[in-house]
Amino acid sequence: MLVKKLFIILLLGAFAINAAHAEQRLTFGAKLLAAGWNGDNGAGRTDFESDEGGQFGLNISYKLDKFYTGLNLQRGEYNFKDNAPDKFTLAGRVPSSKVKIQQSDMDLLVGYYFWSQVSLFVDIKSVTNNWLDEPYEQSFFGLGLGVSGYIPVNEKWTLFGSFGFIGNGKIQDNNDNKVGEGNSWALEAGTVYTINDRHFLNAGIKTRNYSFEYLDSTKQDYKINALFIGYNYSFSL
């Protein structure tokens, strides 16, 4: 409830600013991630690790003085030659192996720079895992908080980082049945190279961790680690 109230306050506050006297900036970006997915299906059960995988991401953000909002989208496929994440249904868990899973990831952010180089944000997150070889899909939804910041090194280089977490999210199957609950956190760090005042390159590392507990009290934990490179186009309004 506290997170929802903060999200509403930040959103309303952004529109309350007199746009005519505040700096406005719009940014479009693309990102390529080389990623690996590994984890375990709970105590006494199988471990799993993808042998191929990666994602492509798109983002758009709008900054109004100290307020900002943004939408980040990522999608990619992961191939598991051996053991894979178990599928969870109302009838219980179903082992999975030798499959390809497509993951789609969405983050809707609203934040505010409480300090000159550090911001707090609220994140509406959705993650969908689709078993491409089988008729099964699993989704994770949650509302969380995060912090981000940056440190200019010189006129061309800037370091940046962010951390966010979802304390209590809902897990659904492809029929929108609730099959469990979970939490997640994500950490990203990297550097930005400024080509000019509109064109920017970035590179860094990103890790996402998920911990799920299903209706039968069994658990599943996994993480996705990635290296990424990206490009942003940004301009003042």
Mean pLDDT, the chain, rounded, equals 91
Label residue 16 by pLDDT band (50, 70, 90): low
DSSP reduced 3-state for 194: strand
Q: Does domain 2-14+26-236 have CATH number 3.90.105.10?
A: no
Residue 104 has pLDDT above 60, yes or no: yes
C-beta of residue 121 within 8 angstroms of C-beta of residue 70: no
Give the mean model confidence (pLDDT) for residues 12-35. Answer: 78
More confident residue, 181 or 9: 181
Q: What is the pLDDT of residue 42?
A: 86
Give the mean model confidence (pLDDT) for residues 9-38: 78
What is the phi/psi pair of residue 76, to 5°? -170, 175
Q: Dihedral sign, CA of 229, 142, 6, 108?
A: positive
Provide DSSP, 52-66: EEEEEEEEEEEEETT
Tokens of 147: 């912090």
Note the residue count of the chain: 237
69-88 pLDDT per residue, tens: 999 999 999 999 999 999 98
Q: How far apart are CA 144 and CA 110, in angstroms?
A: 11
Please report the pLDDT score of residue 93 as a whole number: 86
Average pLDDT over residues 116-123: 97
Q: At residue 11, does pLDDT exceed 80?
A: no
Per-residue pLDDT at 167 exceeds 70:
yes
What digits encode the pLDDT tens for the residues 122-165? 999 999 999 998 889 999 999 999 999 999 999 999 999 999 99
- Domain-by-domain residue ranges, the chain? 2-14+26-236
201: which residues sit within 8 A by CB, 6+ positions away?
192, 193, 195, 229, 230, 231, 232
